Amino acid sequence: MSLGVVVGDLFASCEVGDLLASVGPRDKGGMARFTGKRRGEMAEAAFVAKALSLGFGVAKPWGDSDPFDFIVQAGGRLSKVQVKSAHCAYDAGAGP
């Protein structure tokens, strides 16, 4: 699974498969069981790691009442970022 990150005109993606592979309880299809909230938290963590690795400054606003998750600094410009994640469960043996 990968996570896409868009800041202004920049798009980057990062793999979160290693993170998912290290978790405990699994459903009968072998997928890790996460709540939507937990998946969102994992996406935010992956975003921060990727943005920092690209050299961006990242700030997290206090609370969760704002319509954005992070403030990212690129050069002298600040951008608001809303992180979104998607989950697609499928049977690997079923084909497309």
Cβ burial 63-85 (10 Å sphere, 16+ → b, else e): eeeeeebbebebeeeeeebebeb
- Tokens representing 33 are 């069981």
Q: CB-hemisphere CA count at 13 Å for 56?
A: 26
**How far from chain centre, in Å, is Cα 77?**
22
Condensed to tens digits (0 to 9), the pLDDT of residues 3-41 reads: 555 555 555 555 555 555 556 666 555 556 677 788 888
Q: What is the pLDDT of residue 75?
A: 87
Asked if residue 13 lies in contact with residue 3, where contact means CB atoms within 8 angstroms, the answer is yes
- Tokens representing 43 are 């996406």
pTM for this entry: 0.63
Condensed to tens digits (0 to 9), the pLDDT of residues 34-80 reads: 777 888 888 888 889 889 988 999 999 998 899 999 999 988 999 99
Distance CA 55, CA 53 (A): 5
